[in-house]
Amino acid sequence: MESGVKGLLENWSPVFRIIILAMICILSVLIRVFSVIRFESIIHEFDPWFNFRTTKYLTERGVYAFWDWFDAESWFPLGRAVGGTIYPGIMLTAGLIHSSLHTLGFPIDIRNVCVFLAPGFAALTSLAGYFLTKEVTGRSEAGLYAALFVGIVPSYISRSVAGSYDNEGVAIFALVFTFYLYIKSVNTGSLLWSAAASLSFFYMVAAWGGYAFIINIIPIFVVGSVLIGKFTTNLYVSYCSFYILGSLLAMQIPFVGTQVVTSSEHLASHAVFVFLQIYVLGDWIKERAGEAKFKFLIRFLVTGAVSVVVIASLYMTLSGKMKWSGRSMSLLDPTYAKKFIPIIASVSEHQPTTWSSFFFDLHFLTVFAPVGLYFCLMEHNPGKLFIAGYGVLAVYFACVMVRLLLVLAPAVCILSAIGLSETLHRFTRHIKNYKEWASYISSKPSDKKTKPEYGYPLELALVVIGLIGFMSVYYINHCVWVAAEAYSSPTVIMASKGYDGERRIIDDYREAYYWLRMNTAQDARIMSWWDYGYQITGFSNRTVMVDNNTWNNTHIATMGMIFGSNEEVAAKNLRKIDANYVLVIFGGLSYYSGDDINKFLWMIRIAAGVFPQIKEEDYLNRGQYRIDSGMTETMKNSLMYRLCYYRFGEVQGYNRGSGYDVVRNAEIGEKNIKLRQFSEVFTSEHWIVRIYKVLPEENRDTIKPKSTYASRNKEMKEVGLTKVNLS
Amino acid sequence: MVRLFLLICCLGVMIKVQGQEQQTKVETLLKLSKTNDVIRLTAESFKKYVVEQSRQYIIIVFFSSRVYKSECPSCQALEQIFNEIAYSYKILGHTKPKDQNENKAKPVFFAYLDFSQETQNIYQKFGFYNIPNIYVSTKSFTEDSASYSIDRSKLWEYGNGREIISQKILDFINKNTERDVKIQKSLIETLLPLAIVFTILSLIFALVYFIKNNLNNPKLWWFGCSIIYFICMAGVVYDIIHSSTLIGVDPETGEDEFIAAGPRSQYVLEGFAMSFLISLGGLGLILLNSTAHYQNSWLMRLVGIFSLLLIYYSIYQISFAYNYKSSWYTPSFDPPSHYIKGGLIADQGNSF
């Protein structure tokens, strides 16, 4: 009977596996739709708005038009050649899904395809995680654990909630899937798998700039394997075919193009390819020439090469021909960026990671991963070594930059899955073999019974399984909470709680963008700080001067200079660049701290890099950034200050005087602002978005008549042109 | 007529004496700056070289304290930058007199005034509440019993949100000396990155050479990987870049603080302690797995229980510390109260 049940379960196990996987996929999708449930089906943040706009263009005009698209609505008057300056993977994917669904008779809107694309791909990433872990460990249960962890890990959720229509949403799937196919090709030595890995890599290149991680980690794995004596023909075949095909395919993406050859990011892949050929050649020579001669040759070559490199480096450094780039110096000295490139240090995504960020984004996986690392190294095979290497490299990168936690997340999930499933596998075996164990411990030493392979005190084994279950449940609880509360805000729409606990939606952005769409001329040009460029073109379909692409520093600096100048200079420059409206974000009334006044010093710093007349210290009073009566004259006269605080002096705050800025906690220094060159045309409900029209230049002074009426009359009389005569 | 002649003679003598005095001052400072890029000033020499008239040079004074240096990371950071700038000015020949009438051609000297009982009065007259500070003195100034009549735009005062960034300090000094000096590196500094790279490479090769017989030893690899994991989890790069202190001080009570408030900041000790706890939890799980190989069942039980306690302790402490840092972090199995307020029809942000 027992064997009957066991047999039945074993026969049905593939079905159970599929059901569990399907449930994990559904969970991966559902955990990401909190943003839609709590807010609505909307594209989030900034960059996704550009991706959405381009996808819309693709679906409306077709692939060729999309490829050749010159977008005149952005970077006015420069414009942007979209086809050659983007990673088109996400747009083409959404476009393909949209057209397939329409062909099948599902008239779904492209917006909804874009909104739900990342959750859909999260399910695919779960599957890729399952296959990779199964390939590495040979066990399905580890794969299932990995699928669950990958599907709901907060770090990945942060970039793939419904509405987060960004490159990372599809790229993480491509990353994990490429690793799976590559490991498969190493394990089998099959050219087919290698070609599949190259194709997946091609998709990754099309989708995200993070493809550089793949093209570096695989060569590192290959070199590492050779160095520890794990070189196999499979490794050689898989790498060489992957490298050649992958590099050729990567060149087909216009944005990458010849960078495959010229960029230092690809250098490791070329070097390892050459190294592998030399290694194989060396093997061949060793076979022919004998061990002793080969050793001598190697010594000679290595000594020569090292001497040449050292002498050349010294010469080039001292003669100033070799300079260390900022990036290289940052690697050697982590404080370099802070000292010399403050703009890098200022970006929150580029900040190094604290332990608490690791914990928030990975939770208990940080505890489980070392166990997986242990099992990967102790019972190693090429796949496990690859995962261990991936984990260690990714943890270093994530430590340097918080954004790279996203790349670390799949590695930690797989390592944790390996660690936990191995532990569970052992302890369930201990329970299963309890009878053998019981007979072993009840036997006398004289019986000399050998300890069974799986034998452990039952009560402890049960506690271990209970503890792992508890930690897993707690992890899931954390992930669900994080998905619902921390990572589901669309940024465009904000929610706040009133005094009575009621939820209030702050929808100022859309209100203003809709106003622009409905009340301005089709060819109106809107000037704002670059953060809002993608949203203005996306929501309002109006031309902007700068946007989040930030490719032209001078253009951005010009905007900074205009915001930092007085009204007359600003208006003159705005007219020169043909801007019709100015849009500013102001949070002083509604506790919105991410406003333009708080970003203003960065605008000044960027402007100062191009326009020497703009000086940061002119906006600071003894080093202090102030908006109250202690502010500097330059600050008071700046366009940014005047547009943000125009009519703000009339606003009477609760328990405060008029014109009290609740973000800066200060009463503004200038309450009676009279605009001369601009007129207010729109202010949103909570004053977050304010739009001003640039007034046309005043008429020139009227031409004074050379003579007065009397003398003119006299002159007319003299020529006989009097009123009487005329009549 | 005779009186006028005498007056002219006196004036001529005075100008000559003043010129000689000026020359002597420049020569003395030049001599002093030959041995040290930054000249040490006393209260007396400060008065002579910075405050008093008869000078045709620019002197940049760094105000700091040797006694409190160890407790003042900003003083250490600024001193290093100040020394670099002084070296750059000197190496580019800006200490040598060219044309003493124009600011941009006057020799520039760098000096340091230590805070002491003797110099306390000078600090007070400048109105300093903090150290470190820099003053670019392009001309002499007058003093009364309480203050100096200085041009405050030439004063770089720490605090008020000022950041100690090398380039900014250099820009400030360049602006006031009307020059465009770039930081010059000494030979040692130029070769330092190369030396670091070669040292790292040599160490790696030496390591590979010495452990070449153990290259396949998984325990060695695991140990190495765990060290990297431990260091990275501790947020070491964050500590370096943000110059984190070992522990902090509670601003309200003034007592030592071990856990920094907010998830985006940390103290050095806090990072290492948490990383240690994370590693401890992992070690507990590994230990738990290894106990199955023990022959003695009681030892197995003992180590097993110990491992379980280790895991529980580690996850409890980490969760506790995180909760302490982020008061808004309140995950629960029930939906938050604002989710279930009212039916679906009354839109509380939960409607489909």
Q: Which residues of A touch B274 (CB under 8 A)?
A: 355-356, 359
At B127 the pLDDT is 82
Check pLDDT > 60 for residue A655.
yes
Residue B295, chain A, CB below 8 Å: the answer is yes
Residue B5, chain A, CB below 8 Å: the answer is no
Check pLDDT > 70 for residue B14.
no
Residue ranges with strand state E in chain B: 38-41, 58-64, 108-114, 133-137, 155-157, 248-249, 256-257
d(CA B40, CA B212): 54
Identify the residue among A356, A444, A487, A631 best suited for mutation to test binding to B, counting B beta carbons within 10 A and taking the highest: A356
d(CA B18, CA A5): 111
Q: What is the mean pLDDT of residues A632-653?
A: 93
At A726 the pLDDT is 43
Check pLDDT > 50 for residue A502.
yes
Residue ranges with strand state E in B115-204: 133-137, 155-157
Distance from CA of A368 to the nearest CA of B (A): 6
Q: Are residues B95 and B224 in the same domain?
A: no
Q: What is the mean pLDDT of residues B70-96?
A: 82
Q: Are residues B170 and B222 in the same domain?
A: no
Check pLDDT > 60 for residue B7.
yes
At A156 the pLDDT is 95
Q: What is the mean pLDDT of residues B78-101?
A: 82
d(CA A721, CA A709): 14
Kindly list the distances between the CA atom of residue A364 and the CA atoms of A23, A147, A353, A375, A562, in Å, as whole numbers in the listed order: 22, 16, 17, 18, 49
Confidence of residue B351 (pLDDT cuts 50, 70, 90): very low
Say what percent of chain B tops pLDDT 70.
86
Q: Are residues B171 and B70 in the same domain?
A: yes
Check pLDDT > 80 for residue A442.
no
Among the partner residues A392, A460, A622, nearest to B228 by beta-carbon distance:
A392
Which is more confidently placed, B25 or A100? Answer: A100
Task: Identify the CATH number of the domain in which residue B115 sits.
Answer: 3.40.30.10
The answer to whether the Cβ–Cβ distance between A463 and B308 falls below 8 Å is: yes
Which is more confidently placed, B9 or B284? Answer: B284
Residue B322, chain A, CB below 8 Å: the answer is yes
Confidence of residue B187 (pLDDT cuts 50, 70, 90): confident
Q: Are residues B233 and B297 in the same domain?
A: yes
Among the partner residues A332, A351, A481, nearest to B331 by beta-carbon distance:
A481
Q: Of chain B residues 176-195, which have a CB less than 8 A from chain A? A: 190-191, 193-194
Q: Into how many domains does chain B fold?
A: 2
The answer to whether the Cβ–Cβ distance between A623 and B162 falls below 8 Å is: yes
Check pLDDT > 60 for residue A155.
yes
Confidence of residue A171 (pLDDT cuts 50, 70, 90): very high
The pTM of this model reads 0.80
Kindly list the distances between the CA atom of residue A527 and the CA atoms of A79, A492, A616, A655, in Å, as whole numbers in the listed order: 14, 19, 22, 36
Identify the residue among A116, A355, A385 best suited for mutation to test binding to B, counting B beta carbons within 10 A and taking the highest: A355
At A702 the pLDDT is 63
Confidence of residue A200 (pLDDT cuts 50, 70, 90): very high
- Domain region containing B89: 20-177
Residue A336's closest chain B neighbor by CA?
A: B241
The answer as to whether B193 is a domain residue is no
Q: Which residues of A touch B193 (CB under 8 A)?
A: 324, 328-329, 332
Residue B316, chain A, CB below 8 Å: the answer is no
The residue type of B327 is S
The mean predicted confidence, pLDDT, of chain A is 88
Q: What is the mean pLDDT of residues A120-149?
A: 96
Task: Give the largest Cα separation in chain A, rounded.
Answer: 149
**Domain-terminating residue out of B124, B149, B177:** B177
Q: Which residues of A touch B173 (CB under 8 A)?
A: none
Check pLDDT > 50 for residue A542.
yes
Check pLDDT > 90 for residue A719.
no
Q: How many CA atoms are closer than 13 Å to the CA of A297, on its beta-carbon side?
A: 11
Distance from CA of B264 to the nearest CA of A (A): 6
| Residues A591 and A665: beta-carbon distance below 8 Å | no
The answer to whether the Cβ–Cβ distance between A359 and B322 falls below 8 Å is: yes
Distance from CA of A503 to the nearest CA of B (A): 6
The answer to whether the Cβ–Cβ distance between B233 and A399 falls below 8 Å is: yes
At A717 the pLDDT is 63
Identify the residue among B163, B173, B278 best suited for mutation to test binding to A, counting A beta carbons within 10 A and taking the highest: B278
At A129 the pLDDT is 97
Dump pLDDT digits (tens) for A452-480.
777 788 888 899 999 999 999 999 999 99
Q: What is the mean pLDDT of residues B62-66?
A: 86
At A725 the pLDDT is 45
Dump pLDDT digits (tens) for B135-168.
998 887 888 777 888 887 888 887 655 667 778 8
The answer as to whether B151 is a domain residue is yes
Q: Helix, strand, or coil here: A648?
A: helix
Check pLDDT > 70 for residue A336.
no
Q: Of chain B residues 244-263, which have a CB less than 8 A from chain A? A: 263
At A724 the pLDDT is 46
At B339 the pLDDT is 66
At B349 the pLDDT is 47
Judging by DSSP bridges, how do beta strands A494-497 and B108-114 pair with one another?
Answer: unpaired
| Residues B147 and B134: beta-carbon distance below 8 Å | no
Q: Which residues of B touch A338 (CB under 8 A)?
A: 165, 241
Q: Helix, strand, or coil here: A18?
A: helix
Q: Are residues B49 and B107 in the same domain?
A: yes
Q: Are residues B24 and B166 in the same domain?
A: yes
Q: Which residues of A touch B336 (CB under 8 A)?
A: 485
Q: How many CA atoms are closer than 13 Å to the CA of B257, on its beta-carbon side?
A: 17
At A127 the pLDDT is 97
Q: Which residues of B touch A423 (CB under 8 A)?
A: 285, 288-289
The answer as to whether B12 is a domain residue is no
**DSSP symbols for B181-219:** --PPPPHHHHHHHHHHHHHHHHHHHHHHHHTGGGTT-HH
At A608 the pLDDT is 83
Dump pLDDT digits (tens) for A19-45.
999 999 999 999 999 989 888 899 998
Which is more confidently placed, B185 or B236? Answer: B236
Check pLDDT > 60 for residue A283.
yes
Check pLDDT > 60 for residue A343.
no
CB crowding B195-212: b at 16 or more within 10 Å, else e: eeebeeeeeeeeeeeeee
What are the residue boundaries of the structural domains of chain A, listed by start?
421-486, 506-694
Which is more confidently placed, A92 or A439? Answer: A92
Q: Are residues B28 and B169 in the same domain?
A: yes
Q: How far is CA B21 from the centre of its chain?
A: 40
Measured at the CA of A697, the angle between CA A517 and CA A612, to 5 degrees, comes to 90
Confidence of residue A639 (pLDDT cuts 50, 70, 90): very high
The answer to whether the Cβ–Cβ distance between A622 and B165 falls below 8 Å is: no
Of A58-72, A117-131, A225-239, B182-196, the range with the lowest mean pLDDT is: B182-196
Confidence of residue A178 (pLDDT cuts 50, 70, 90): very high
The mean predicted confidence, pLDDT, of chain B is 82
At A689 the pLDDT is 96
Q: What is the mean pLDDT of residues B4-26?
A: 69
At B155 the pLDDT is 85
Q: What is the mean pLDDT of residues A482-508?
A: 83
Dump pLDDT digits (tens) for B255-307.
888 998 888 889 999 999 999 999 999 999 999 988 888 877 788 889 999 99
The answer as to whether B332 is a domain residue is no
DSSP 8-state code for residue A265: G
The answer as to whether B206 is a domain residue is no
ipTM of this predicted complex?
0.85
Q: A–B: how many Cβ contacts below 8 A?
A: 223
The answer to whether the Cβ–Cβ distance between A373 and B226 falls below 8 Å is: yes
The answer to whether the Cβ–Cβ distance between B157 and A396 falls below 8 Å is: no
Residue A292's Cβ-count burial label (10 Å; 0-12, 13-18, 19+) is: exposed
> What sections of A451-593 are H helices per DSSP?
458-481, 508-519, 533-535, 553-564, 567-576
The answer to whether the Cβ–Cβ distance between A399 and B232 falls below 8 Å is: yes
> How many C-beta atoms surround the C-beta of residue A91 within 10 A?
28
Question: Any idea of the CA torsion for A212, A217, A218, A223, to the nearest 10 degrees?
Answer: 130
Token pair for residue B290? 């290894």
Q: Which residues of A touch B201 (CB under 8 A)?
A: none
Q: What is the mean pLDDT of residues B119-126?
A: 87
Among the partner residues B229, B241, B295, nearest to A334 by beta-carbon distance:
B241
The answer as to whether B282 is a domain residue is yes
What CATH topology corresponds to A506-694? Rossmann fold (3.40.50)
Token pair for residue A315? 């010469």
Among the partner residues B232, B240, B285, nearest to A371 by beta-carbon distance:
B285
Main-chain phi, psi angles of B188, to 5 degrees: -65, -45
Closest CA to A656 of A716, A713, A589, A720: A589
Confidence of residue A537 (pLDDT cuts 50, 70, 90): very high
Say what percent of chain A tops pLDDT 70.
91
d(CA B217, CA B214): 5
